[in-house]
Amino acid sequence: MGFLRDYVATRRDDQELGRGVWRRAHDRFQRGLDRYHQMLEGVTDPDLRAGAIPIANDLADLLPRVRQVCMEAHRRAPSETQDIPASKGGYLSDVHRQLSRSGNAMAQTAEALTMARFAASSANSTDEESKSDPRVQGIERRAASVHECVEQAEALLRD
């Protein structure tokens, strides 16, 4: 049964995203997101886990947006090769660049979570404003760059 489901999903992806650069950009983002969730499963520190789970949810919410960008880009300029399709003013190159950066930033976010797992626990503080875990802050910074890249890719397609 799983084989049929995977086959249908692959056919749908081929139709909506093609087999070229737009599919590759989407799949790279998805692999980075999967890696983040794999790393999250191994987090045992409750403070780090509590900070990393909302980030995971925010990043997961980006996947449909990335898919929409890739689908729209494929609709405008279908790609079945690894060459970025030509476009007026090269805007599709810019869209692909932002999608590629979002995939890289996603991988770096997973890497930041991995490093945070092994970092020493932050010192306890009684000051309410300094209770934010620096390990989580590092992950948040990486996640913010993922959001920024996705937003820029969306904006390029709107213009």
In this structure, what CATH number is given to the domain that contains residue 54?
1.20.120
Is 48 a domain residue? yes
User: pLDDT 10s per residue in the chain (159 long)?
Assistant: 677 776 667 778 777 888 999 999 999 999 999 999 999 999 999 999 999 999 999 999 999 999 999 999 999 999 999 999 988 999 999 999 999 999 999 999 999 999 999 885 544 444 443 357 899 999 999 999 999 999 999 999 997
Is 126 a domain residue? no
Report the distance separating Cα 14 and Cα 88, nearest Å. 25
Is 88 a domain residue? yes
Is 66 a domain residue? yes
What one-character-per-residue DSSP string does 17-37 give?
A: H-SSHHHHHHHHHHHHHHHHH
Is 61 a domain residue? yes
* Residue range of the domain that includes 149: 2-118+132-158
Domain count, the chain: 1
Is 127 a domain residue? no
